[in-house]
Amino acid sequence: MTETVGVLALQGDFREHIFILRSIGADAIEVRTPADLAKVSRLVIPGGESTVIDKLSRIFEVAEPIKQRIKEGMPVYGTCAGLIMLASEIGGAMDGQQNFGGMDVTVERNAFGAQLESFETDLDFKGIEDAPVKAVFIRAPIVSRVGDKVEVLSSLPNGDVVAVRQNNLLGTSFHPEISGDSRVHEYFLNM
């Protein structure tokens, strides 16, 4: 039996993740409930607004089961807001904002400023050696503190860390699902 990859589908660009996962042959489904989560062996947390994904994950009671699965070692990949959801600490959080945690990093929300500062560029990515990754940053966060057990996979020329991995958890500030570069998703499926 092939494994099923879930995409948290509460808010944000979850359809783009489903599309890119299916394009590389994965069996991808939307996850909205604890019952959906039970069907998957991996999870992607999409881009969106972290404040909204946080609230909805608590309202629909998937937050605690996701935290539990993260502790049990389920591979999880978060893009942008998804990376914020995986951080142990959030910079610039809204009052009362919560997240799933799991990765020993501090992530600064909206670190570049307004939408005018959003950009796309090509980045070297450790583990994807053939060519640079096409990276789209949209009101993106950066990783401002990297814990001892966290591996930095990609940084901007100024040193800002924008892709990290800690064991079963992967996070990028940027959106490969928007640029259509499927290699980061392939990397995730091979984790």
Partner 1 sequence: MTDTDFGTSRVKRGLAEMLKGGVIMDVVTPEQARIAEDAGAVAVMALERVPADIRAQGGVARMSDPDLIEAIIAEVSIPVMAKARIGHFVEAQVLQALKVDYIDESEVLSPADYVNHIDKWAFDVPFVCGATNLGEALRRITEGAAMIRSKGEAGTGDVSEAVKHIRAINGQIKQLSAMREDELYVAAKELQAPYELVREVAATGKLPVVLFTAGGVATPADAALVMQLGADGVFVGSGIFKSGEPAKRAAAIVKAVAAFTDANVIAETSRGLGEAMVGINVADVPAPHRLAERGW
Query: Which parts of this chain interact with partner 1 (CB under 8 A)?
Result: 9-16, 32, 47-49, 51-52, 55-56, 59-60, 80-81, 92-94, 109-110, 113-124, 132, 136-139, 157, 175, 178-179
Smallest gap from residue 148 Cβ to partner 1 (A): 27
Smallest gap from residue 100 Cβ to partner 1 (A): 17
User: Which CB, 50 or 168, lies closer to partner 1?
Assistant: 50
Q: Distances from the Cα of 86 to the Cαs of 13, 78, 124, 161, 162, in angstroms? A: 17, 7, 22, 15, 14
Query: Any catalytic annotation for residue 185?
Result: no
Give the integer Cα–Cα distance in Å for 3 and 40. 7
User: Which CB, 168 or 175, lies closer to partner 1?
Assistant: 175
Query: Any catalytic annotation for residue 108?
Result: no
User: Which CB, 1 or 114, lies closer to partner 1?
Assistant: 114
SS3 15: helix
Which residues, at least 6 apart from 190, have a Cβ–Cβ distance to it below 8 Å?
Answer: none
Query: Any catalytic annotation for residue 17?
Result: no
Smallest gap from residue 149 Cβ to partner 1 (A): 27
Where residue 3 falls (left for φ over 0; alpha for ψ -120 to 50; beta otherwise) is beta
Give the integer Cα–Cα distance in Å for 168 and 191. 7
Catalytic residue among 17, 80, 108, 185: 80
- Which residues are part of the catalytic machinery? 80, 175, 177
